[in-house]
Amino acid sequence: MIINSSSIIRNRQKDKFFGIDYYANLCHGSNPIFNYLSTPLDFYPLANQKASARCLDRELDFLKKINDFEEDKIFGIFENPDIYTCHDSIFNIIDKLKETRHGLFIETNSLNLINDIEVLEDFSKTNPLLIGIPISSYSSIDLSIFNEHYDFKSMEKLIKALEKTDIKFGFIMKPFIPEINDDPLKFKELLETLIHHHPDFIYPTFSLNFDSKKLNEFYDLIDKEKPEFKSKYFDKYGYKKSWISDRAEELKKIFIFNIKKTKIAYSMNQIIDLYKTTKQQEQISLF
């Protein structure tokens, strides 16, 4: 059965977007960063100027329709907008999903997830679950589109809380903006720090995507906050809708060299396979 509605949007590329079958579109508004740019890892990159807000009609529609599927599915809740900016807790959604065999992927860097950490750990014992934390740097970035939760230091409390559980979680390294947060030494520092916290996966993307409106908004932002970069950007990228840093190849080499020394999943296929076993099953298989 295939369902499309305002609350449930089908993923037609199963090898991408962390293995979700359907995107759960549960809130009004958008994450402010999406007014300027997105990345290839953003399933639903649409943007508007409305602040994130709860949409009760979509939630009710979603909770009703999840019972219509004949097979188990993975539903994805991505950060546009972050559902934890619309809710202090999504207990009701998790509890309803637990009555099914459906799985869940949540992308968030909100500390509000800690409010649900016990119910999420309980959910993970019976249903597939992955938590993806978007992260852009080790320390704060001097550009207003990055909120206070895009750097490691701001998210350390959330990361340590997840470490203490059997919940499978990982890091989505994005976005990387040329000249802003693509320094190789700082990237290496961030990566080594993330590895130290024993995530189940780390997945980076080094590309930026724009549409005409976003690109104009981004250039306006740079003109106001980083005017020294505007002419440099325009000379290199002009009106291109896809950007990639000159340092991307070096960043990729740093990533592959360091991640291959670990057992952390780093390809999309490896990450999708994480849904298939619980951490307890993985620990048992080691003996």
Residue 278 lies in a domain: no
In a domain, 283, yes or no: no
State the pLDDT confidence band at 286, using cuts at 50, 70 and 90: very low
CATH number, domain of 173, equals: 3.80.30.30
Establish if 280 belongs to a structural domain: no
Q: What share of the chain is helix, strand, coil (3-state, %, to 5)?
A: 45, 15, 40
pLDDT, one tens digit per residue, over 104-149 is 999 999 999 999 999 999 999 999 999 999 999 999 999 999 877 7
For residue 146, tell me if it sits in a domain. Answer: yes
Report the b/e string of 13-33 with b at 16+ CB within 10 A.
eeeebbbbbbbbbbbbbbbbb
Q: Evaluate if residue 284 carries a pLDDT over 50.
A: no
Number of domains in the chain: 1
What percent of the chain has pLDDT above 70? 95
With respect to residue 127, please indicate whether it lies within any of the assigned structural domains. Answer: yes
CB 21 within 8 A of CB 10: yes
User: Is 149 contained in some domain?
Assistant: yes
Q: What residue numbers bound the domain in which 184 lies?
A: 8-273
Token look-up 């293995």 returns 19
Q: Which of 46, 50, 69, 66 is nearest to 58 (CA)?
A: 66
pTM of the predicted model, to two decimals?
0.93
What pLDDT does 229 receive? 96
Candidates 59, 106, 103; CA nearest to 78 is 106
Per-residue DSSP letter, 94: H
pLDDT per residue as tens digits for the range 172-214: 999 999 999 999 999 999 999 999 999 999 999 999 999 999 9
Q: What is the pLDDT of residues 239-278, one digit of tens each?
A: 999 999 999 999 999 999 999 999 999 999 999 999 985 5
